[in-house]
Amino acid sequence: MDPAQAGPPPFSTADRPKPEALLALGPVCADLFAQLKAWFDVPATVELDLSAVDADRVVLDLREPQMVAAFAMRKLQALHLLSIPGVATKPDVATNLIDSVLRALVEAPRSQLHRRAAVVDWDQEWAALDAGMLWREAPEAEARRFSELLKAVLRARAALEQLLCEGNPVIA
């Protein structure tokens, strides 16, 4: 094959600009990150057991909602980086990262409700309802906002999917 027809090397400068939907993910990732941190009380640092591939603690970590949220937050940090103009990546890399974080994000609201329900003082809540106090928070607004953020991530994924169909170019 003639080298001129072979095309650019796989990690040359960007072939195409990033889709607007991916560029828009910076603040979306920041908001999702903050929401997971608040819902699951994730500390600023978490400890990982990397002593062996089958370390006993790994199984426990993957059962703990706080650690699942921490892993998702780490992926959101990486996705935030990929959303920055000029940071080169390929659509398949960004799509795989989005797919990975979406699994945790879709499960997060349910997991958070289970976590919250486990620590609620139900006697106090019933007393508040009897006293005419409804919700102290606005869970509907919080859920609506979380849903909007997830839709933004899905829009970015759809735009990246289109680029995959066009040959998986380097984007920046």
pLDDT tens, position by position, 132-164: 766 555 577 888 999 999 999 999 999 999 999
Backbone φ/ψ region at 112: left (φ over 0), alpha (ψ -120 to 50), beta? alpha
pLDDT tens, position by position, 54-70: 888 887 777 899 999 99
Higher-pLDDT residue of 113 and 80 is 80
Measured N-to-C along each axis, helices 65-82 and 25-40 cross at an angle, to the nearest 10 degrees, of 170
76, 127, 84, 130: which is closest to 102 by C-alpha? 76
Whether the per-residue pLDDT at 91 is higher than 90: the answer is yes
